[in-house]
Amino acid sequence: MEEDQPRRDAEGLAEKVERLKRERGAVVLAHYYVPAETQRLADYVGDSFYLARLAKTLDVPVFVLCGVSFMAESVKLLNPARRVLMPEPAADCPMAHMVRREDVDRVRAEVEDLAVVAYVNTTAEVKRWADVCVTSSNAIKVVRELPEKNVLFIPDVNLGRYVAEQVPEKNVILNRGYCPTHNKIGVAQVEALELAHPDALVLAHPECTREVLDEADFIGSTKQIIERIAAGDEREFIVLTVVGVAAEIARRTEGQGKRVFFPEPAPVCPNMAMVTPEKLLACLGNMTGEVALPEDPQRAVEPLERMLELAGR
Ligand code: CIZ
Ligand code: SF4
């Protein structure tokens, strides 16, 4: 009987979350990188841009965003009339801040025919310095479609370098930001996995270092990695991104007998890891962690809209 206690507690928590969602008129949105137990309580799970755009189509007064601040900010920017709550307001993405205004201003002053391209993993303030945003799913397409010859890519050096290699007709100037979690995945860990699973397909997120990307058979965003695994004939996969994606891969490949391997120790984003089921419950109960509309929201939305226009061409 004792052993069933954790399961009963989890069921009790899930029931409370469901009841509060109904009472508050709230929809829970979760990123693939938050813990699997939190994803299980969400109404929708996806990448940051999917969640922000999806919110526009849902007629509810409150969103609870299980993820990091730039994601909640994006939901708020695209849905300014709705309340957006974060179960853990301190969950922030360090890379979202890894660019200095003076560096952007200097390049703007020195380089003509320039577009400043900001990864969506940035604060609203950084988005206001940019001409266009990109996600890891559409960065190559959007940069290719730009009329400008020169591109300053902020903040991620790894995604920026990967895009530069794929779009050689552009002159891409890189910045020095990086994701501490993806940066920590080392070639030695990848080689150990390849030795243990020689037939496995290697899939990597473009936030990984160049040396790790060189090992990959497939490079893509979380969504692209998940879809490639779900659609593939292969039986084994080595996945080089945050281990949270395992939950969605398991949902999408149920019964197919596919095996997925992550580096050891498993890549965990410490900020995403803070978004626990208990904090989601408390957030819904107390309606805390509300995200304010960022300053000059129109200017921050412009690069997001420009991205949609270019990505849709
Ligand atoms: O944009 C996102 O959601 C992130 C952080 C990664 C990805 O590849 O989807
Ligand atoms: Fe930021 Fe990296 Fe965490 Fe994504 S995994 S939220 S880029 S720190």
Whether residue 186 has its Cβ less than 6 Å from ligand 2: no
Ligand 1 atom closest to Cα of residue 71:
3
Please choose from 71, 181, 183, 222 the residue to mutate so as to test ligand 2's pocket, defined by most ligand atoms within 8 A of CB. Answer: 181
Average the pLDDT over each of 99-113, 191-205, 299-313 and give the range with the smallest value: 299-313
Is the per-residue pLDDT at 9 higher than 90? no
Query: What pLDDT, on a 0 to 100 scale, did the predictor assign at position 124?
Result: 97
User: What residues does ligand 1 touch, defined as CB less than 6 Å away?
Assistant: 31, 47-49, 120-121, 135-136, 205, 221-223
How many A from CA of 31 to the centre of ligand 2?
11
Ligand 2 atom closest to Cα of residue 96:
1
The residue whose C-alpha atom lies closest to atom 1 belonging to ligand 2 is: 93
Among the bound ligands, name the one nearest to the CA of residue 275.
2
How many A from CA of 93 to the centre of ligand 2?
5
List, for residues 233-287, the tens digit of each pLDDT value: 999 999 999 999 999 999 999 999 999 999 999 999 999 999 999 999 999 999 9
How many A from CA of 262 to the centre of ligand 1?
17
Q: How far apart are CA 255 and CA 182, in angstroms?
A: 29
Interhelix angle 48-57/69-78, nearest 10 degrees: 30
Query: What pLDDT, on a 0 to 100 scale, did the predictor assign at position 226?
Result: 98
Query: What pLDDT, on a 0 to 100 scale, did the predictor assign at position 3?
Result: 61
List, for residues 198-213, the tens digit of each pLDDT value: 999 999 999 999 999 9
Strands 150-154 and 201-204: unpaired
List, for residues 58-112, the tens digit of each pLDDT value: 999 999 999 999 999 999 999 999 999 999 999 999 999 999 999 999 999 999 9
Question: What pTM did the predictor assign?
Answer: 0.95
Ligand 2 atom closest to Cα of residue 207:
7
Ligand 1 atom closest to Cα of residue 207:
8
How many A from CA of 149 to the centre of ligand 1?
26
Percent of the residues in the chain that have a pLDDT greater than 70, as a whole number: 99
DSSP alpha helix (H) spans, the chain: 5-24, 36-39, 48-57, 69-78, 101-110, 124-128, 139-145, 157-166, 180-183, 187-196, 210-213, 222-231, 245-252, 270-273, 277-286, 297-311
Whether residue 189 has its Cβ less than 6 Å from ligand 2: no
Query: What pLDDT, on a 0 to 100 scale, did the predictor assign at position 82?
Result: 97
How many A from CA of 100 to the centre of ligand 2?
18
**313 pLDDT band (50/70/90 cuts)?**
confident
Q: How far apart are CA 97 and CA 70, in angstroms?
A: 10
Residue-range domains of the chain with CATH: 2-93+273-286 (3.40.50.10800), 95-178+296-311 (3.40.50.10800), 185-266 (3.40.50.10800)
Whether residue 74 has its Cβ less than 6 Å from ligand 2: no
Ligand 1 atom closest to Cα of residue 48:
3
How many A from CA of 179 to the centre of ligand 2?
6
Query: What pLDDT, on a 0 to 100 scale, did the predictor assign at position 205?
Result: 98
> What are the percentages of helix, strand and coil residues in the chain, rounded to 5?
45, 15, 35
Average pLDDT of the chain is 96
Is the per-residue pLDDT at 121 higher than 90? yes
**52 pLDDT band (50/70/90 cuts)?**
confident
Interhelix angle 5-24/277-286, nearest 10 degrees: 30
List, for residues 257-268, the tens digit of each pLDDT value: 999 999 999 999
Query: What pLDDT, on a 0 to 100 scale, did the predictor assign at position 4?
Result: 77
Whether residue 181 has its Cβ less than 6 Å from ligand 2: yes
List, for residues 125-152, the tens digit of each pLDDT value: 999 999 999 999 999 999 999 999 999 9
Is the per-residue pLDDT at 2 higher than 80? no
